[in-house]
Copies of this chain bind each other. A is one copy, B any other.
Amino acid sequence: MGVPMALNLIKAGYKVVVWNRSADKCEPLKAAGATVAASPADVARQSDITFAMLSDPPAAVQVATGPGGIVEGMSAGKGYVDVSTIDPATAAAVAAAVRGTGALYLEAPVSGSKGPAEQGALIFLTAGDQALYDAAAGPLDVMGKASFFLGEVGAGANMKLVVNAVMGAMMGAFAEGLSLADRMGLQQQDVIDVVALGAIASPMFALKGPAMAKGNYPTAFPLKHQQKDLRLALAEADAAAQPLAVIAAANDLYVRARQQGHGDADFSAVLEAVKGQQQQ
């Protein structure tokens, strides 16, 4: 996803310095006018604001704080914006290292995947240093259709967790509605069409519904990851003495889907747990 994001910045006229673990990933950007750096630290030294899009928390830590990492090139007046999806603890560790150099830190996980990245239509859920959020407004505007500044480091990850927990429960309820409709003799496609015209219409129902009605669950977001987000949301709520009865019931339903062997399917396969093992 980093390539289309950087291309959009170049097209908008920004001077862009790039680095990737696999040097060949930088070729299209070099062709488009980017300077290729020798290391993350080298990017940071040459840039006012450094953006990182990494695959997981260990990569985020390595690129920021490892040998030749971002921190070595950071200093007061510079900023580091990590658009990877990482947990609050990782974000806090990287933030501390970056701030230790006098630089500013912004956690900015994105909502949206490859398509929105190409179209400059990502959504940035940022948190950390508001001054850096303000300074990065131009580039964020080029790469995304919206950005939010949500507060202290960790708030971006927390916002993703809240949204995904609601999403998981919504999908569970939708799967139950489809199953109930089926048992009542209604056509599931009719449910999908009626829902699409009313108050509870959502892009997710429109996108996933028709495949679900056919028993197909092509994996976009794996069920086991959806269930992990439900589990993490419940853990956060537990720590805050906040009951979440609907989300807890949805979580149990996804665990049941995993019990049935659907952990690697799309999370819409929770429908299979609702269908269960029906009497022959």
Contacts from A to B (Cβ < 8 Å): 111-112, 123, 125, 145-146, 148, 150-152, 155, 158-159, 162-163, 165-167, 169-170, 172-174, 176-177, 179-181, 183-187, 190-191, 193-195, 197-204, 207, 227, 231, 233, 236-238, 240-253, 255-256, 258-261, 263, 274, 276-280
Nearest CB of B to A133, in Å: 13
A-B CB contact pairs (8 Å), 22 listed: A123-B194, A125-B194, A159-B194, A162-B184, A162-B186, A163-B194, A163-B198, A165-B176, A165-B180, A169-B169, A172-B245, A176-B247, A183-B242, A227-B238, A243-B252, A243-B255, A243-B256, A244-B252, A248-B249, A256-B276, A259-B278, A276-B277
Q: Give Cα distance in the complex from A186 to B163, angstroms.
A: 12
Give the oligomeric copy count: 4
A162 to B194, CA, bound (A): 10
Evaluate contact between B191 and A162: CB separation under 8 angstroms.
yes
Cβ-defined contact, B245 with A253, below 8 A: yes
Q: How far is the CB of A225 from chain B (nearest CB, A)?
A: 14
Give the complex CA separation of A85 and B242 in angstroms.
Answer: 28
Residues of B within 8 A of A158 (CB): 181, 184-186
Query: How far in angstroms is the closest Cβ of chain B from A184?
Result: 5
**Known contacts being A180-B242, A249-B248, is A198 close to B123, with CB within 8 Å?**
yes
A243 touches B253 (CB 8 A): yes
Query: Given the complex of chains A and B, what is the CA–CA distance between A207 and B199 in angstroms?
Result: 9
Report how far A195 CA is from B204 CA in the complex, Å.
Answer: 12
Asked if A259 and B279 make an inter-chain contact with CB atoms under 8 angstroms apart, the answer reads yes
A260 touches B279 (CB 8 A): yes
